[in-house]
Amino acid sequence: MRVGSVDHDVDVFIAGGGPAGLACAIAAAAQGLQVEVADGMRPPIDKACGEGLLPDTVAALMELGVTLDGTENFPLRGIRFLGDSRDSHATESEALFPNASGRGIRRTLLHHLLLDRATNLGVHFRWDTVVQSIEEGEVHTNRHNSRPRWIIGADGHPSRIRTWAGLEKSSTSARRIGLRQHFAIAPWTDFVEVYWTNHAQAYVTPVSPSEICVAFIATEKFSSIKQALALFPSLHPRLALAPASDNPRGSITLSRRLRKVTSGNIALIGDASGSVDAITGEGLSLCFRQALALASAIKAEDLTQYERAHRKIHRLPHLMSRAMLLMDRSPLIRARALKTLQRKPDLLSHLLQFHLGDAPLRLFGSGGIFASALFFLASG
């Protein structure tokens, strides 16, 4: 193909074959664009995460043409918060998802579904392929060179595409460490359960009728699953004797905002473009919505559209992340907030609707931010 005076051998080159890269490939190919994806690994590509898909994430997947039908997963009705520290009385509150169910699904199975969809749309894949440089619009890898019309960095937190594009200017407000383990045990709930203790959380997500995923997140690295479980006295008895169904996997979770996510014909997506702490459960939803927005901008040949959409997509998750991390950093705020949510279950329902985009942000009124904050701080 030829654009202006430059020959291009592909419309869109994507560095990174994880969920963000595959979602972008799907969205771009669905626009009729020729897409190539390169990754240094081979599928399925796994990553430590909570493996719970909130209803808005499931909706974004459907917009990409990906359904979970026929794949092992587990329907989720809502979110449950549990205060779980040895020095305080247990507190518990829950809220149902407002309009649709969420799903728990193994990360590798989700990757397989995305890969199948991209392959069916004609996306070309180059596995075991590492991008080594970008020079004068040409992408150099360890296996071939390519001159694409658009270059997409979907290569995660330590993005080399971001560095080469001069897009490193950012602010990081939180950095924590995660550890994931699957257990071969029948789920005891159809909620995502979030256990809170000092400077750590445990996220329990059913992913099949016979397996659960537990993701531990903390400010300090866990030495083992046994040490992580010991921090949660309510969760420990359920899992102390449950057999692990795989090896534990660790990861880093960041709250980072980039000043810009595009430069020339280069755009960033997923964790390469900034991220919110895993406490929000919105990582996959962000990259799926980014993919749809980026594909539209590429089709229009106007990446400023994507810059605007990216800022809008990240605004609410960053706000929720900061609010929830206050509970992580302050035992007093966490204890008061959990007690408040226990006494006022409608408040958690409203916050969940707001988090999922099903309710508007209100500053005033009984469910507004100011009233909620004052109630948290005044509760004893």
In a domain, 326, yes or no: no
Residues 9 and 76 placed together within one structural domain of the fold:
yes
Residues 217 and 117 placed together within one structural domain of the fold:
yes
Tell me which residue range forms the domain holding 364: 331-378
Chain centroid, CA 315 distance in Å: 15
Tally the domains of the chain.
2
- Average pLDDT of the chain to the nearest whole number: 88
Residues 279 and 360 placed together within one structural domain of the fold:
no
Predicted pLDDT of residue 32 = 96
Predicted pLDDT of residue 359 = 54
> How far is 324 from 233, CA to CA, in rounded Å?
22
Residues 305 and 346 placed together within one structural domain of the fold:
no
At 252-272, the pLDDT tens digits run 998 899 999 999 999 999 999
* Number of neighbours of residue 40 by Cβ within 10 angstroms: 17
In the chain, count of helices (H) and strands (E)? 11, 22
Residue 239 and residue 249 in contact, taking contact as beta carbons nearer than 8 Å: no
Predicted pLDDT of residue 229 = 94
> How far is 95 from 117, CA to CA, in rounded Å?
33
Residue in 30, 210, 181 with CA at minimum distance from that of residue 107: 181
If you ran DSSP here, which 8-state letter would residue 332 be given?
H
Place of tokens 């490939």: 25
Residues 92 and 66 placed together within one structural domain of the fold:
yes
Residues 370 and 277 placed together within one structural domain of the fold:
no
Predicted pLDDT of residue 371 = 45
Residues 174 and 33 placed together within one structural domain of the fold:
yes
CA angle 199, 356, 219 (to 5 degrees): 15
Predicted pLDDT of residue 358 = 58
CATH number of the domain to which 63 belongs = 3.50.50.60
Predicted pLDDT of residue 324 = 81
Report the b/e string of 119-155 with b at 16+ CB within 10 A. Answer: eebebebbeebbbeebeeeebebeeeebebbbbbbbb
At 88-114, the pLDDT tens digits run 456 888 889 988 899 999 999 999 999
Residues 285 and 154 placed together within one structural domain of the fold:
yes
Residues 342 and 312 placed together within one structural domain of the fold:
no
Residues 124 and 151 placed together within one structural domain of the fold:
yes
Predicted pLDDT of residue 89 = 54
Residue 22 and residue 115 in contact, taking contact as beta carbons nearer than 8 Å: yes
Residues of the chain with pLDDT under 50: 1-5, 87-88, 363-380
Specify the 3-state DSSP secondary structure of 181.
strand
Domain stop point among 289, 321, 353: 321
Predicted pLDDT of residue 110 = 96
Residues sharing a CB contact under 8 Å with residue 379, sequence separation 6 or more, in sequence order: 336, 337, 339, 340, 343
Predicted pLDDT of residue 135 = 93
Residue in 109, 99, 27, 28 with CA at minimum distance from that of residue 68: 109
* Number of neighbours of residue 3 by Cβ within 10 angstroms: 10
Residues 211 and 306 placed together within one structural domain of the fold:
yes
Paired with 208 in beta bridges are 211
> How far is 44 from 151, CA to CA, in rounded Å?
23
Residues 63 and 208 placed together within one structural domain of the fold:
yes
